[in-house]
Amino acid sequence: MLTQEQIQHFEKNGYLVVEQLITHDDCEKLKESIKQLIDKWNPECDSSCIFSSSGNREQSKSRYFLDSADNISFFMEEDAIDPNTRKLNRDKHHSVNKIGHALHILDPQFKRVSFSDKIKSVARDLNFIKPAICQSMYICKQPEIGAKVNPHQDGTYLFNEPLKIAGIWIALEDATIENGCLWFIPGSQTIPIKRRYVRNPDQEEFNEGKILLYTGNDDPYDDKDFVPVEVKAGDAIVIHGQVVHKSEQNKSPISRQIYTFHIVETNNSEYSKENWLQTKDPFPLIYDA
């Protein structure tokens, strides 16, 4: 699937664009599946369902967020909720920030794409021995209100030891600077994971509602070090678990819908029990070498 040149690019920079990993027909099928899921969804407008990449106070107290590891759960854009009434201020289809975190298991279309032969080939080319998918997300990046995602490393949220994680980020619509494409610091996959988003180990605090917290601190990042990576619908970006990346707010009138999931190595690598994301069943394998 990947050429030697592409593998070298990934190893040097920490990310790689794979053009047309899925077809435009696949893009439309995934978007239609999400439309149907939102059609059936009855939003309850409280702050526990607002997603924040900074792990806001409400999200960190939310069992709804915790339980999303095994479900198809809906998280709204903060700017889609009236601060006074706590009601949506727009149509629900234009209010969703993201949907997660078990689409790859529970929805047939997303399952088909996530465990396709192409994904198996990419995992093999990246030397995964016993890869599994730990989580999946559909991110809408709504027109005009799509929230920014702060600079981060995926290993902050999904940590295994030794660390071997790869994100597969698939554009279902063109992703541009204007509507919130990804930005990377090339070569930053050499930076160790210093910050973690974990379940609160203090059982008393956990039971009182302080469920999730950050430990450690990242070094400051310089905006001038980031480079934008624009892609077309159907293209994918393979993301190293340690590379620093972000996306800016979507202030444009055009959405930027994507599907992303994370592959973790399970061969001689232990997924941390401290991670916020814990599932009832073992992560489904892509293949078992």
- The backbone torsions φ and ψ at residue 19, rounded to the nearest 5 degrees and listed phi first, read -70, 135
Half-sphere exposure of 253 (CA within 13 A, CB side): 0
When pLDDT is averaged across residues 232-252 and rounded to a whole number, the result is: 98
pLDDT of the residue at 53: 56
pLDDT band with cut points at 50, 70 and 90 for residue 47: very low
Please say if the pLDDT value at position 30 is more than 90. yes
pLDDT above 80: residue 266: yes
On whether the CB atoms of residues 45 and 149 are closer than 8 A, the answer is no
pTM score, whole prediction: 0.94
Going by pLDDT thresholds of 50, 70 and 90, the confidence category of residue 82 is confident
Average pLDDT over the chain reads 93
* Token digits of residue 141: 């990046």
Structural domains present in the chain:
4-271 (2.60.120.620)
